[in-house]
């Protein structure tokens, strides 16, 4: 953008960085997902989750045309996606956007990559959890993709330990919300499932 006195932006050539940021955010929100490289996954029919503008900052104060603005994006990945491909996809998107708008000067800062993980449904730890859930709840939970971030990549990718990304009480739609909560009864059920699953897993397969 053009940092200058805001009283003369209609008289001299100027670019409002905050406005350009907003335009880019809208475009990314509408188009970025179509430009991300990924393969369809049976447990995640909607593909990767893209959130544009989870953090936004721009300008310095009243009376100043913003010369710089920045925003952060949150993209939840699928198995098979790589950091290298993600960086390339994001940079290509920005390059196209800047080619379409000569006043746009955008720079990519890629901060954190948490790789996706996947565990086979016939892994002993999965079977132990499903069996214990059936005993406690009276039904078998569906196997689904968990889109939130957990420590699973550290255990599974780094240490090579088959890891279930998430299994416990509470509902993800309530997480990080103003009224986040979980039912006390669900904690007790989870404790019983963990105990039974641990016993099943440590006992090993039944011959």
- Same domain flag for 182 and 145: yes
Query: Residue 141 corresponds to which tokens in the numbers above?
Result: 């939970």
Domain hosting 196: range is 124-203
Here the CATH number for the domain that contains residue 68 is 3.30.70
Look at residue 105 and tell me if it is in a domain. Answer: no
52 pLDDT band (50/70/90 cuts)?
A: very high
Q: Is the pLDDT of residue 205 over 80?
A: no
Average pLDDT value over all residues in the chain: 94
In the prediction, which pLDDT does 207 show?
45
In the prediction, which pLDDT does 115 show?
86
CA angle 136, 139, 145 (to 5 degrees): 105
Look at residue 197 and tell me if it is in a domain. Answer: yes
- Same domain flag for 140 and 89: no
Count of domains forming the chain: 2
101-140: per-residue pLDDT in tens? Answer: 999 999 999 999 988 999 999 999 999 999 999 999 999 9
Alpha-carbon gap, residue 104 to 21, rounded angstroms: 8
Is the sign of the CA dihedral 139, 145, 146, 149 positive or negative?
positive
Query: Residue 69 corresponds to which tokens in the numbers above?
Result: 């603005």
* Single pTM value for the model: 0.86
């Amino acid at each position: 953008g053009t940092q200058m006195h805001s009283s003369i932006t209609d008289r001299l050539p100027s670019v409002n960085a905050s406005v350009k940021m907003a335009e880019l955010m809208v475009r990314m929100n509408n188009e970025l997902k179509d430009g991300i490289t990924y393969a369809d996954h049976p447990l995640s029919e909607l593909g990767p989750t893209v959130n544009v503008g989870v953090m936004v900052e721009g300008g310095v104060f009243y009376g100043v045309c913003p010369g710089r603005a920045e925003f952060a994006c949150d993209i939840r990945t699928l198995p098979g996606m790589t950091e290298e491909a993600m960086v390339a996809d994001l940079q290509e998107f920005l390059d196209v956007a800047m080619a379409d708008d000569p006043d746009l000067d955008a720079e990519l800062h890629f901060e954190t990559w948490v790789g996706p993980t996947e565990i086979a449904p016939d892994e002993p730890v999965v079977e132990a959890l499903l069996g214990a859930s059936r005993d406690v709840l009276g039904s078998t939970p569906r196997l689904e993709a968990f889109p939130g971030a957990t420590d699973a990549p550290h255990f599974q990718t780094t240490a090579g330990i088959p890891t279930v990304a998430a299994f416990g009480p509470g509902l993800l739609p309530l997480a990080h919300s103003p009224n986040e909560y979980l039912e006390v009864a669900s904690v007790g059920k989870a404790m019983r499932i963990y105990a039974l699953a641990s016993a099943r897993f440590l006992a090993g397969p039944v011959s």
